[in-house]
Structure 1
Amino acid sequence: MAARVVLVDPAGRVLLFRGFDPARPGATWWFTVGGGVEPGEDLRAAALREAREETGLDLAELRGPVWRRLANFSFDGRRYEAEEWFFTATATGPVDTSGFTELEARTVVEHRWWSAAELRATSEVFYPARLPELLDGLPDHPDGPPLLLDDREPAP
């Protein structure tokens, strides 16, 4: 299980990281802040911890979960079936990636802020694939039941 954060800046842009699978270093994709839930940790605590570790930000307000995504993917030669729960928050400071794990430091190439329009126009790969549409709909379901994204959406 994973907790992810759709971190949006005051301009409405979402923070994404670009990374790669060590087993396939030539293929990169963009993804949201977040990662695995540790034993005994609840989803909200995991989302806050992951955001702090990956961005250096202590989030004042975390909304959701707003989406739930099921994905099948390979990473570093292993197959995963992931259940990802997405929260949303507003960024209030610069991003600091010095808290990355060793694996993140090796496999995350860069980060940047994307508008929904930029995501629609790019040929870059990003996950979840419906992110531009979902960003447009954030105000419509900030604290209701999570929207189930495409069941078993393919991931890298």
Structure 2
Amino acid sequence: MEKIFESREKRELTKKFESMKSIGDVENLAEYEAKNWIEKSRRLEYEKKKAKEQAKVFDELDEDVFVSEDTKKAKDYNLRYSGADLTGLTVQHDIRDIKEGTTILTLKDSSLRNAQDDVLESSEVVSLEKSREFIENRKRKKVYNGMLF
């Protein structure tokens, strides 16, 4: 039974390799390899170019199809956003704590029960304050020296 499977596999392999050219069949091997390499590189370059064009077309379609009217209105609103929209908001931090340059302020989490004004805070400043507090707490802790009292 095994010999039948081996002979069948051998027959399939010989059929497969009969259609291929061997090194001896090619007259000028270097020219053949160079020609194949050039064709392959041109084909790959063409495929990359086509893929970029397709990606660009799909991106444009995605923008048209998946961007809702609300999102478009929000983009328009962001363009018209001004300092007058910040009235009634307070900043939690002291001006000295905020670094020069661009600082992103976000709305501070608050519960719905506390109907206070909206407060803006910087996540960087909050993390610095927490680290300072941690360091101070570490300094205040007494060091365990092995004695119970």
Give yes or no for TM over 0.5.
no
Larger radius of gyration: 2
Please tell me the TM-score bracket, short chain as reference.
under 0.3
- The answer to which structure, 1 or 2, has the higher relative contact order (CA under 8 A, 6+ apart) is 1
Name the TM-score, length of structure 2 as normaliser. Answer: 0.19
More strand by share: 1
Name the TM-score, length of structure 1 as normaliser. Answer: 0.19
More helix by share: 2
